[in-house]
Every structure is written in C-alpha cells, then in structure tokens.
Amino acid sequence: MSVGRLVGIARHDRPRGPIEEIDAVEVTVEAGLAGDYRGAMKPDGPRKRQISLITASGWAAAMADLDLAPDAIAWSERRANLLVDGIALPREAGARIHIGETLVIEAVQECDPCSRMEDIHAGLKAALMPKWRGGLLGRVLNGGHIAIGDIIRIEA
C-alpha cells in the first residue's frame, strides 16, 4: 500500500468564487468538503465531482514546463481541493484513497484542466494535461475530519 501526506486543503463556496486555503476541514458523504460548493449530493444520486485531488509533484512539473518556480502560482489556483505529496494518485476508477483516520474517497475519473487555467497563466492548461497532472475527481464513501499533515493511503 502506498503512503503519502496531505499538504494542502482548499475550497471555494461558489463557481468562480475566491479560493480559501485552510488547515483542517470536515468532509461528509452528503456535502463533500465543508464549505465547498461542488461537494453537495445531487437529489438524483452521487456526484462524480465531490472532491478533487492533485499531487505536489504534478503541480511542480507543470510549473517547470512553464519555466516557473514551483510556487510561482499557488497550487490552489488549480481549484483542486486537496494537495498530496509523496504518493502517486490512482489512475483507475474504483481505487480507494484513505486520508486521516476515517475519510475514504473513491477515485472516479481524471480531472481534466479547463480553459480557466489559461486565464491564470498562458500554457497552464497544456502543462497540466500529461500524466494526470490535473489530478483526479472522487466521491466521498466515508466522511471524516482531515488536516494538513494527515497520512494518505491508496488501496487499489
């Protein structure tokens, strides 16, 4: 089983709303990441985009492709919820991502970067396309409280 760390948490309360980086948050099956507008369940069933994750190494590689320092653009501008380090995210639907004591996220699909990335920096969308650098989307299977520094485990 692969092990890594949670190194960033971010949310936004409305489409195109400001990004808020936080140190800890509650995550539930019903609402996803507390305070993030994408997490709420639809009345007709589970959402595919409840929560999004990217890797620190993928973000750094995208920045390098743009000849930028790794922190030249904040990772949260990607509009992902969780930044992970020391672990490769699964690339298949159904894999389980365990964070902290109880949170379990099911990988659903790749998170393709949108054209909004071009508004942030020319070429960012293309830099996030290879090797799942844009991250993955998941749905919450079991909720829990998470905080920066929590251990992440992948179960295929």
**CATH number for 86:** 2.40.33.20
- In angstroms, rounded to a whole number, what is the distance separating the alpha carbons of residues 86 and 5? 6
Distances (CA, A) of 84 to 7, 34, 122, 153: 6, 18, 25, 11
Domain hosting 150: range is 2-155
CA 18 from centre of chain: 16
Please give the structure tokens belonging to residue 54: 């990217």
The pLDDT tens digits along the chain (156 residues) read 679 999 999 999 988 889 999 999 999 998 999 999 888 766 665 567 899 999 999 999 999 999 999 899 999 999 999 999 999 999 999 999 999 999 999 999 999 888 888 888 999 999 999 988 999 999 999 999 999 999 999 987
Backbone angles phi, psi at 59, to 5 degrees: -65, -45
Name the β-bridge partners of 2.
154
Sorted by sequence, the CB contacts under 8 Å of residue 50 that are 6+ apart come out as: 32, 33, 38, 39, 41, 105, 137, 138, 139, 140
Number of domains in the chain: 1
Residue 48 three-state SS: coil
- The pLDDT assigned to 41 comes to 63
Please give the structure tokens belonging to residue 61: 């590689």
Please give the structure tokens belonging to residue 109: 């699909």
- Nearest alpha carbon to residue 36 among 88, 90, 91, 76: 76
Q: Which amino acid is at 39?
A: G
Burial of 105 (0-12, 13-18, 19+ CB in 10 A): buried
Please give the structure tokens belonging to residue 154: 């992948």
